[in-house]
């Protein structure tokens, strides 16, 4: 078998879930910042720090097509949403950000990343995965997706000096 036959074609590589690391910073950072309204802007050092404390950092197309970054309760993460869950849950996996490139949406990539995360969390003994979704400014697609994936709303908060309202979601894995 040749090396070429063992490596999926480029188009298939965009659908293969892979671990993300520092070599993927450029692709992940670009996709993240193109979607900063739904998540938040990161710089290279912020993204590197986030990847360094991540429980789960995987994506497709080396993070340029889609990615998901999640942390568990032990992460030294300073974020109002993470801290909301930390004050209320003993153990959890927190989805900090999940982004799918516009050209790849509607193909089930986010669902595959979530299912992979659920398996990783379950294998590590976690029973709950949590996240937040913007209410103001609204993110209706994310709200509908999380509800379809079995998440339930467990709270709401106004953050960033009143500039953003979020709903907190939880999915029990048991």
7/37: higher pLDDT: 37
Residue 3 — very low, low, confident or very high, per pLDDT cuts 50/70/90?
Answer: very low
Q: CATH number of the domain that 79 lies in?
A: 3.40.630.30
Number of domains in the chain: 1
- The two tokens of residue 4 are 């070429």
* Peptide bond just before 137 cis, omega within 30 deg: yes
56-60 vs 18-19, strand pairing mode: antiparallel
Query: How does DSSP assign the chain, residue by residue?
Result: --HHHHSPPHHHHTTS-EE--GGGHHHHHHHHHHTTTTS----HHHHHHHHHH-SEEEEEGGGTSEEEEEEETTS----HHHHHHHHH-SS-EEEEEEEE-GGGTTSSHHHHHHHHHHHHHHHTT--EEEEEEEEETT-HHHHHHHHHTT-EEEEEEEETTTTEEEEEEEEE--
pLDDT in tens, 25-51: 999 999 999 998 778 899 999 999 999
Domain that holds residue 52: 3-172
Confidence check: pLDDT of 13 > 70 = no
| Mean pLDDT confidence for 49-72 | 98
């Amino acid at each position: 078998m040749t090396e070429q036959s063992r490596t999926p074609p480029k188009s298939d590589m965009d659908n293969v879930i892979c671990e993300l690391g520092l070599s993927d910073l450029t692709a992940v950072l670009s996709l993240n910042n193109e979607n900063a309204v739904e998540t938040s802007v990161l710089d290279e050092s912020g993204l590197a720090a986030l990847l360094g404390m991540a429980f789960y950092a995987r994506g497709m197309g080396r993070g340029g097509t889609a990615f998901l970054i999640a942390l568990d309760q032990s992460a030294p993460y300073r974020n109002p949403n993470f801290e909301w869950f930390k004050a209320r849950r003993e153990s959890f996996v927190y989805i900090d950000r999940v982004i799918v490139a516009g050209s790849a949406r509607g193909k089930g990539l986010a669902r595959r990343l979530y299912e992979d995360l659920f398996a990783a969390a379950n294998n590590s003994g976690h029973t709950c995965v949590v996240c937040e979704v913007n209410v103001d400014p609204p993110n209706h697609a994310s709200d509908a997706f999380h509800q379809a994936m079995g998440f339930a709303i467990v709270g709401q908060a106004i953050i960033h000096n009143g500039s953003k309202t979020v709903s907190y979601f939880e999915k029990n894995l048991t």
